[in-house]
Amino acid sequence: MEAENKVKQQSSMESQEDNVLNEQALTLQDLKQMDLENPEYYFDRELSLLAFNWRVLQQALDPTIPLLERIRFIFICSNNMDEFFEVRVAGLRHRIARGDTKPSLNGQSPEEILRRIHSKAHDLIDEQYRIFNDELLPKLAEEKINFVPASQWSDQQYKWLKKYFKQQVMPVISPISLDLAHPFPRLVNKSLHFLLHLHGNDAFGRDLEYAVLHMPRSLPRIIELPEKVDATEEHNFVYLSSIISEFAEDLFPGMEITGCYQFRLTRDSDLLVEDSGTEDLASVLKRELQSRHFGAAVRLEVESSCPNKLVNFLLQKCNLTVNDLYKVNGPVNLNRLISLPDIVERPELKFTGFTPKIPQDIQLGHPVLDILKEKDILLHHPYQSFLPVIDFVKQAANDPEVLAIKQTLYRTGSDSPIVEALIDAAHSGKEVTAVVELRARFDEADNIELAQKLQEAGVLVVYGVVGYKTHAKMALVVRREKKRLFRYVHLGTGNYHARNARLYTDYSLLTSNPEMCEDVHKLFQQLTGMGKVYKLNQLWNAPFTLHKKLIKAIETETQHSLNGNKAKIVIKVNSLTDPAMIQELYRASIAGVKIDLIVRGICCLRPGIKGISDNIKVCSIIGRFLEHSRVYYFYNDGAEDVYASSADWMERNLYYRVEACFPILDANAKKQVIEDLNMMTRDKVQSWYLNQNANYKLRKSVNQQKVHDLLLKKLAL
């Protein structure tokens, strides 16, 4: 009855909205007063994230993708699912445990969402192993890349592997028998383990039934057999799990092993650090990181041949239910096989290499700051090189006229040339400030080490603002020129990570625009000092102005449409979850604004609702590169305003993080971004289109090239 009433209410609302439109009396105020909180208008964020992982998995079935790259998508999906359970499922379980019954945007309770996750996640993981076993392994075998089961080992292979086990494996593992003196051990998060079923008495006369083997991460999960053993030109690999199962009896002399089964436990890995009252965030994080490996269990993976008796034993010891059990037909930690494409030197089975282009008006080694006096530089990574950004910091570090460098660091990598440049700058006596975000999820330990390294070099390290992650990507250089001080800045949509700049799509803007430089200077003052909110000239920033400015920009576009003028919005983000932004887009759609949303991952907006969102199209581009750039386009009566940003349209980005959004002012740069967006919205090869039933459909076109390939041809060498 309740569902029927909702449908009637929605129909009535749509009818009223249609009447208003037909009467041509709709105003912006009318739109603001509309009730757009109907749960039927929204998708759940957790289920939307699962749908993204399904799209990633489908790349493994794409015959146009080289074979070793297809198998890489299997491993990426596996890694994504690990994080999904560690953070999203763990978060839901926390909510349920504390009695939080607040429904999600689509009206479902945490318990309902968790039930649906279990169903869909089981289907996804089953499909993942089906693709791995039935689609990819046979194709690898056709290319003479084999995973050899123990039943097919030759005598020579058997002897080599037994020697490998005794020399490389046995010395570093410790079997743990389970008895009163050895209770069930604390299992490390996501580590490979084996449960052994034993029979017989040991040297002390104990009649043991179970033992556990923990596999250290230092042991490779796949071992390639050397040529001298195979005497072939083939790549023959053996799983570590096969070696353990075959030679486990050597660890228990005199005992009979009646079963050896691999399993893996996934634990809650989100760090719950209270900001208030925390005097030393680094010390608190260090303590929390020690416990990350032993959070509450959220998932148990067991090989499919494991008997129910042993499965139930593991579930009971891990305090899990059958819903949390995933029986898998293959290695329980597929993502640890990700080294395979790098081990096998077969270029024809991988993506064709490319050289990121350096724009013609930039020559590496020439002073970047001098170029910026004349014009802005816009770079689209990975098609265009990240080297000019590195050069920007390196040259500033070595320039005797540069007095100060300020930079935010979120994820940089352990061997970052930018970090080394900041250290060189500090050693040369420059004032160097680094705002290091310690709480970048799963990079906390690396960032603590980075902060210590910078501090030891004399860099002023700031951890940002209590309660707000610093997610903005910006660098500021202050230089003395003819007794005057000039400023230069870099603003980006992605992190200062040179390797990721070859894998992620992002925009970089280098400029000496005085107003933008002044804005960046104020943002750094806000991060490192105290005082009221600064009024900015060009930049929008979270948590202060970004949300308001975005709402205003959408309202302006809405008003243009109400006035009978052309109105268009194109938004490219990684995730869209904020209800306020979704409702504003619905209002614009009702007013007739044409809206294209390029949302790689989570999308809680439901397109195609009659009278509500039928002017909104949503697509997700999945392919060779991880779509990471955030771009906002507003037609604005022909002015065509374009912004790039570090912020997704999620509550955490708009209200609880420090973010920077910057306009693309240079005419040529703006033209480039608009052309890129147009290319993406026209794509019908890599784009998955979302319908109102929460399903994504790939619209394959035989007459088009993939958008990533088109951009490579356009921008790279």
Virtual CA dihedral for 44, 649, 677, 706, nearest 10 degrees? -40
Residues 527 and 551 in one domain: no
What's 385's domain CATH number? 3.30.870.10
* Residue with tokens 């979120």, as numbered in its chain: 410
| Residue 391 belongs to a domain | yes
How far are the Cα atoms of 69, 220, 603 from residue 691, in angstroms, in the given order? 28, 43, 11
Q: Is residue 373 located within the same domain as residue 439?
A: yes
Question: The tokens 């209200």 sit on which residue?
Answer: 655
β-strands 469-470, 657-663 pairing: parallel
667-682 and 707-715 helices, crossing angle to 10°: 150
Quick one: CA dihedral 503, 505, 511, 516, positive or negative?
negative
Cα–Cα dist 65/136, whole Å: 12
Q: For residue 73, is it within any domain?
A: no
Q: Do 309 and 394 belong together in one domain?
A: no
* Co-location of 642 and 673 in the same domain: yes
Tokens of 396: 């500033």
- Please give the residue range of the domain that contains residue 273: 159-346
CA distances from residue 76 to 52, 107, 440, 626 in whole angstroms, order as listed: 12, 31, 20, 11
Instruction: Dump strand ranges (E) for 296-448.
Output: 297-303, 325-328, 377-381, 402-409, 431-436
CA dist 627 → 460, 578, 680 (Å): 33, 20, 11
Q: What DSSP assignment string belongs to 153-211?
A: --HHHHHHHHHHIIIIIGGG---EE-BTTBPPPPPPTT-EEEEEEEESB-TT--B--EE
Give the whole-angstrom CA distance, residue 364 versus residue 369. 12
Residues 490 and 613 in one domain: no
Last residue of one domain, picked from the residues 480, 514, 538:
538
Taking CA 103 as the corner, what is the angle to CA 99 and CA 109, rounded to the nearest 5 degrees? 65
Question: Does one domain contain both 477 and 616?
Answer: no
Sheet holding 176-177, edge to edge: 176-177, 210-214, 192-199, 256-267, 297-303, 325-328
Instruction: List the structure tokens of 141.
Output: 């075998």
- Name 473's bridge partners: 492
380 classed as catalytic: no
Give the sign of the dihedral formed by CA 318, CA 323, CA 329, CA 334.
negative
Q: Which of 650, 646, 610 shows the shortest CA–CA distance to 631?
A: 646
Distance CA 546, CA 652 (A): 12
Token code pair at residue 312: 């139930």
Rounded to an integer, what distance in angstroms lies between the CA atom of residue 320 and that of residue 308? Answer: 14
Looking at the domain assignment, is residue 267 inside a domain? yes
Cα angle value 136/141/145 (rounded, 5°): 100
DSSP at 358 = P
How many domains are contained in the chain?
3
Q: What are phi and psi of 26, to 5 degrees?
A: -70, 135
Within a domain: residue 27? no
Spatial distance between the Cα atoms of 494 and 647, rounded to a whole number of angstroms: 10
Give the residue from 484, 509, 538 where a domain finishes.
538
Mention every residue, 6+ apart, whose C-beta is less than 8 A from residue 119: none
Which candidate in 193, 471, 490, 547 is catalytic? 471
**In angstroms, how far is the first alpha carbon of the chain from the final one?**
62
Is residue 96 included in any domain, yes or no?
A: no
Task: Give the per-residue pLDDT at 178.
Answer: 81
Q: In this structure, is residue 40 part of a structural domain?
A: no
Domain membership flag for residue 66: no
Domain end marker among 483, 514, 538: 538
Task: Mark whether 545 and 666 lie in a shared domain.
Answer: yes
Q: If we measure between CA atoms, which residue out of 553, 551, 533 comes closest to residue 543? A: 533
Judge whether 439 and 285 are in contact, CB under 8 Å: yes
One domain for residues 534 and 549: no
Query: Do 530 and 582 lie in a common domain?
Result: no
- Which is nearest to 432 in space by CA: 510, 514, 500, 528? 528
**Same domain for 299 and 385?**
no
With beta carbons less than 8 A apart as the criterion, state whether 294 and 318 touch: no
CATH of the domain at 290: 3.30.1840.10
| 74 inside domain | no
The secondary structure of residue 534, as a DSSP letter, is P
Rounded mean pLDDT for each run of 10 residues along the chain, 717 residues in total: 44 46 70 93 96 97 96 95 94 91 93 96 97 97 94 93 95 82 81 88 67 91 83 85 92 86 90 48 56 78 95 93 95 90 93 90 80 94 95 95 95 86 95 84 72 90 85 97 95 94 96 97 90 91 97 98 97 98 98 98 97 97 96 97 98 95 96 96 94 90 84 83
Regarding whether 314 and 226 lie in a shared domain, the answer is yes
The answer to whether the CB of 569 falls within 8 A of the CB of 634 is yes
Rounded distance between C-alpha atoms, residue 342 and residue 349, angstroms = 11
Q: Are residues 390 and 450 in the same domain?
A: yes
